[in-house]
Every structure is written in structure tokens, then in C-alpha cells.
Amino acid sequence: MNKYKNNFAYIDGNNLYQGVRSSGWKINFNRFRRWLSDKYGIKRTYYFIGLIPKEKDLYGSLAKAGFTLIYKEVIYDKDGKPKGNCDADLVLRSVVDHFENNCDSQIVVASDGDYACLVKNLKDNNKLVTVLSPNPKNKCSILLKRINAPIVYLDDIKRKICLNEKAPGKDGTLQGSFS
């Protein structure tokens, strides 16, 4: 039986996408959402993402997989690259949920040092389950590491959540377990 009951996850969508992509693999969002639920008792998973109309299929698939999408208006730089900084929105949603006791504990999915103050606050208040780092150990912010909070690197669980790979069972055989 899962010891976690009513936990929320907060995902910096661009951080997740860029971190996993830089490691050379793609995430299966259905499997990832199920793994979060099975492993950590995640009831609600906020996915913070820039709103770009041509990405509507991605948004639909994320919603279908069980993510609660929080859109951020994007601006475009001089080269036409979209920028939708969602850090403040993610922190605010987490803090509101914490102080309104909407959840028991939280998970932050990001490797960005901008989240260090949030992670420290959650840890100090016994509300942090773990940080899930989309980046490998050597690219996760030192600011997150210095807090001495538990960090799980997605590269370490890649086989459980990777697109086009089957999840192995605990004995190494291919099964449907995601924990």
C-alpha cells in the first residue's frame, strides 16, 4: 500500500522537455503520470507550459494523460524563439496549495536553481517528498543540491517512463509495473 495519500506534483514543462531532450530520449507522458501516481501517490499534477497554438495536440495528449495544464502566455525573442517563463506561477501555485492545506506533500519537477527557495521551504515544513530532476546529476543546479533535499534523476528511471520502451518488473522481466 502506498504510504502517500494526497500529494501534488508541480512540473516546469519547458524544464522537463529540455532536460529529457538533452539526455537524448523522449518521455511517455501516460507512463510518467501513472508512475507519479503509483510511486508517490500524486493526485494532481500541475504542468506549467507556454501557450503556443500550434502545440494544441501536445496539450490535448497531456490533458488526456491526467495533467492539469497551467498555461503561460509566451513572448518571442528577436529570433522568433518562444519564451514562457512559468517559474513564478509554479511557485505561487505550490505555496497556495501548501498554505491552504490542499495536499499532504509535494514534488517539484525541475532542475532549475530558481526553485531552490521553494524546495527549501517545502523541506523545512515537511511538505517535500522529492525533487525530480529532468537533467542528469552533473547538470542539476547546485542550488538545489545544496539544500540536501532528496533528488531523483529522471535518467535513473528512464526505462520506466521512456517513450517506446517497456517498463521492466522488479525481477527484470517486462511487465506493467511503474513503481
Residues in a beta bridge with 83: 75
Residue extents of the structural domains in the chain: 7-161
Q: Which CATH architecture has domain 7-161?
A: 3-Layer(aba) Sandwich (3.40)
pLDDT at 168 over 70: no
User: What is the CB neighbour count within 10 angstroms for residue 116?
Assistant: 18
pLDDT tens figures, 65-101 = 999 999 998 888 898 888 778 899 999 999 999 999 9
Instruction: Give this prediction's pTM.
Output: 0.87
> Would you say 166 and 174 are in contact if contact means Cβ atoms under 8 Å apart?
yes
Kindly report, residue by residue over 156-165, the tens digit of the pLDDT.
999 999 987 5
